[in-house]
Amino acid sequence: MKHSLLDLRSQLRFYKFYHHNDTNVAIHAVFVPTILVTSASLLHRFTLYKSITLTHVLTVGYAVFYCLLSLPVGMMASALLILLNVALDKKWLNTTQSQDTGIFVLSWICQFIGHGVFERRKPALLDNLVQSLVLAPYFILFEFLFKLGLYKDLNQQLKQDIATISK
């Protein structure tokens, strides 16, 4: 199967291959956003220039990549990331470093349990760390959109792709 950096179906297929058990996907639906928020909070403590933090820079990178994959969903994801940045800038999310670290570690443990117990498959990050960390929040957003009945054709194509790969 074709794999391209800017091919939406290819990117989602990579991630879905490791995440098609419903319980594991549900675990990820909770803990991927939790990891995103705690990571952003931890990285927001690193100021690069004036009030620009590492979180701001990574948000731009994620937003551009997501928009290149799919403009409508990329804009939605970008809006959520911008909202997260605003919440951190305004200290609406005012957690301590140790709180963020504890929640971050617990979230990863839960995801590994999801893979070991329910998916019975190694996590995607063991095959491609960067792709997994960047794609995980986007994948979860697409899973939410699929549950809402949107992008039915893409969802069906991904299911067919996974069935073909799994044979």
pLDDT over threshold 60, residue 1? no
HEC secondary structure over the chain: CCCCCCCHHHHHHHHHHCCCCHHHHHHHHHHHHHHHHHHHHHHCCCEEECCEEHHHHHHHHHHHHHHHHCHHHHHHHHHHHHHHHHHHHCCCCCCCHHHHHHHHHHHHHHHHHHHHHHHCCCCHHHCCHHHHHHHHHHHHHHHHHHHCCCCHHHHHHHHHHHHHHHC
pTM: predicted TM-score of the whole model, two decimal places: 0.93
Q: Which residue has the higher pLDDT, 1 or 27?
A: 27
Share of the chain above pLDDT 70, in %: 98
Mean pLDDT of 66-76: 98
Q: What is the pLDDT of residue 64?
A: 97
